[in-house]
Structure 1
């Protein structure tokens, strides 16, 4: 055991002397960097540099990995920041477009149809529309306190959308023309080249999104895209309110009367502002 300790002491002594010699040699070499090195010095210096390179390699690698990790983190943070800005811009653009549309709708409501003589428009906003009865009715923010009565027609800039069927002091319920089987018929007229033909709007086909007009017994040809408007007969509707354009013509099973399909220009999925037409004498 004594010999083992003695051998270990010798090894430590030899290692210490070797390190000391290397340090002294390095100092001596660097004292005069301009002198020519001997072959041994060159070999020794190259060996030291090689060992230094090997020792530093893992530290350099770890340093590079750490720097790349920092760069990736910075890039991700920058990407997240830019993404938030883009989403914010998209939101602002969407809000701007919606405000522009609302302003356009309001301007069109202010442009009163010249054919509506004898009627006063009451502008209103849709405040409720049940999903279960989406194609049948909606609620507006004007009621009997605003002079609205049952049976009054309701329009938008693109044409007729329905009529008032119920009122409270501050709200009213509108039955839409897209009601498939309405309890009442609407008297309408179709503009031909030199005259009108008359019929009844009896319902709505949700499959092809057209109104159905029956009761036309005239033999006149009804052209596609002919204008369909209200007659003003038998109800509180003024004459001449635009309903839509003819999109198809067939005959009944007895081949006696025509059945006309009419396509509306109204976007019933996007009703926000409406106009109730009130007669001046009411």
Structure 2
């Protein structure tokens, strides 16, 4: 499905990013595993060798444009180009804060790692994506779509990423570049785990009851959608938001 394609996946050292990197390797892609933690990046890069070609581990702080540029150039130097960009990285430390309790450093933590990281990788990868008529998958969240209380900085950043995706999809569409967004709900990820672990048995049952599919999502559920959006199977889809949440949020693209 992705044989011969070159993919960059940010925040790929764990959780959804790791699952996406593995799924893309299984589909035949060569993957740059970009993460702030060099050890986890290397571990995942080695793990990809079990499914195809070993990945390229790249240590990168996505909030620093110079590091992003070097990550892009390392990928191109090794594999000759870029077909797929997955912007997943986001610093999720201290994610729960109300609007009134949010100070500027907290907001900037989310904006620089989430929005600016996405912005930098898009700009630095543009000419390579244009050359191969590539695909971009940006990771947002239902927290922004729904206005999740106690998550102002995170939700605001994720909605900014969705807006970025729509603007870039329109501007880059004539270049043959597709840009889509996924909003995942996977219970075992770093962002979601504290919330799900805080639920009582009754709370978990109530959460599941409002999901049409009646089960918690996994990182693999999200990864398979990312592979679809990166592949030619979705060749006529751009500027769209896909809610990968078991039906919990419908018609969110509007």
- TM-score when normalising by structure 1: 0.26
Higher share in strand? 1
Higher share in helix? 2
Larger CA Rg, structure 1 vs 2:
1
